[in-house]
């Protein structure tokens, strides 16, 4: 039997950071329940370092990069401001340090390339049921990687490499979807294209070196 080319992604919220993220959104869920909001009235999707952590645990993040995908609530209910006002403390399991998870009001998916089908590939957090007024999804590894091609800081590139090493991303699929996203990107298309080529070349060369 042939092995699959890609491992099915799994989200792990059992870490202290994962639990802090769930707790943060649970406070919004409680508010929506009080408002008698219907099932799935609000949908959030999480990108950034927190999402990378849930897939790989290769680092912790103290910022929640998330966006409201859909919201059907009273206009006076400012959910993102509410999240920003409620930082969640957690203990970093590696260092033992007390840290604070904060919701980033400045984050926007337009900061970098983004593929139009990112919601369809995202994974729902099991802690928020179908019946819940709040649905929280984690962007798929491939869409997180694409979104990080815009800024492409050293940390962004490390995150993309960690996602590739996890086996959750097929390199040919990353190239295909990333080029589609870059094609409609409103910023300068050359930098993310160059970063993509460099990362994939390095990854494939290192993989070939490790092959038996």
Q: Please give the radius of gyration of the chain, using alpha carbons only, rounded to the nearest integer.
A: 18
Buried/exposed code over 12-40 (b: 16+ C-beta within 10 A; e: otherwise)? ebebbbbebbbebbbebbebbeeeebeee
Q: What is the mean pLDDT of the chain?
A: 93
Average pLDDT on 198-210 reads: 83
The closest of 159, 150, 135, 160 to 193, measured between CA atoms, is: 150
Query: Tokens at residue 71, please?
Result: 């919201």
CB distance 101 to 27 below 8 Å: no
Average pLDDT on 5-24 reads: 94
- For the chain, domain boundaries: 16-210
Residue 201 confidence (pLDDT): 96
Residue 5 confidence (pLDDT): 67
| Rounded distance between C-alpha atoms, residue 127 and residue 1, angstroms | 35
Evaluate if residue 17 carries a pLDDT over 70: yes
Mind listing the pLDDT tens digit for each residue in 19-47? 999 999 999 999 999 999 999 999 999 99
Residue 6 confidence (pLDDT): 76
Evaluate if residue 1 carries a pLDDT over 50: no
Query: Tokens at residue 5, please?
Result: 């080319």
């Amino acid at each position: 039997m042939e092995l699959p080319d890609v491992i099915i992604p799994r989200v792990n919220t059992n870490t202290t950071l994962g639990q802090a993220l769930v707790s943060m959104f649970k406070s919004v869920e409680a508010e929506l329940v009080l408002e008698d909001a219907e099932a799935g009235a609000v949908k959030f999707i999480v990108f950034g370092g927190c999402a990378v952590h849930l897939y790989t645990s290769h680092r912790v993040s103290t910022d929640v990069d998330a966006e409201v995908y859909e919201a059907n609530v009273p206009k006076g209910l400012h959910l993102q401001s509410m999240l920003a006002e409620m930082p969640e403390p957690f203990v970093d399991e590696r260092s033992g340090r007390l840290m604070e998870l904060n919701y980033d009001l400045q984050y926007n998916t337009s900061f970098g390339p983004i593929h139009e089908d990112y919601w369809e590939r995202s994974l729902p957090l099991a802690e928020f049921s179908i019946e819940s007024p709040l649905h929280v999804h984690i962007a798929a590894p491939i869409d997180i990687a694409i979104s990080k091609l815009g800024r492409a800081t050293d940390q962004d590139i490390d995150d993309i490499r960690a996602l590739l090493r996890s086996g959750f991303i097929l390199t040919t699929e990353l190239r295909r979807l990333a080029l589609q996203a870059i094609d409609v990107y409103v910023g300068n298309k050359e930098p993310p294209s160059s970063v993509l080529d460099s990362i994939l070349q390095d990854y494939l060369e290192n993989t070939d070196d490790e092959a038996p």
